[in-house]
Amino acid sequence: MSVILVVCVVALCLLIVVWIKRMRAQRELMRASITPEELHMLLESNKDVPVFDVRLPLDFLADAEMIPGAARIPPKELLENPSLIPKEKDAVVYCTCATDETGRRIVKQARGMNFLRLKFLKGGLSAWKELGYSVVPYDKSFHLDTRT
């Protein structure tokens, strides 16, 4: 009976450690986010904040608008060439997905390469537009490569 008890206690301890690590990672990622209101205020006070639209090309078929001043960079290109992200100043990425999946993934990978000032826009372009902030049409051509 004592072997079963020891195994259960060890398993419980491992689950607790995994849960704590997951919670820490989630908190760290949330610190790497910025709300649409915060970004709007930041852009109003400082026009020198790089903003990257990292939506997939297919997303542009549904919504061909961007945050004014944003640079359109496909996620794959940004991850393959991290030098596109400035290390020395704050920068923001955004996507369209409600879970901010693309933005979160890019920030997570960039932080692993010591790009610690990069943030993702919570709620992405949809949240930005819901608050009535301005957008501009995206009028450049793009290649419909759906790989990220």
Q: What is the pLDDT of residue 63?
A: 80
Residue 142 lies in a domain: no
Residue 143 lies in a domain: no
C-alpha 137/C-alpha 67 separation (Å) is: 9
User: Are 86 and 113 members of one domain?
Assistant: yes
Q: What is the pLDDT of residue 143?
A: 55
User: Are 97 and 36 members of one domain?
Assistant: yes
pLDDT mean by block of 10 residues, the chain; 148 residues: 78 76 66 89 86 84 87 84 84 82 81 84 91 88 53
User: Are 26 and 39 members of one domain?
Assistant: no
Residue 100's domain is classified under what CATH number? 3.40.250.10
Q: What is the pLDDT of residue 66?
A: 92
Q: Could you list the residue range(s) of the whole structural domain that residue 10 is in?
A: 1-31
User: Are 128 and 65 members of one domain?
Assistant: yes
Q: How many domains does the chain have?
A: 2
Q: Which residue has the tokens 């109003």?
A: 44
User: Are 67 and 124 members of one domain?
Assistant: yes
Q: What is the pLDDT of residue 148?
A: 47
Q: What is the pLDDT of residue 136?
A: 93
User: Are 47 and 25 members of one domain?
Assistant: no
User: Are 3 and 42 members of one domain?
Assistant: no
- Crossing angle of helices 2-31 and 101-112, in 10° steps, is 100
Residue 112 lies in a domain: yes
Q: What is the pLDDT of residue 34?
A: 92
| Residue 119: closest CA among 80, 74, 77, 86 | 86
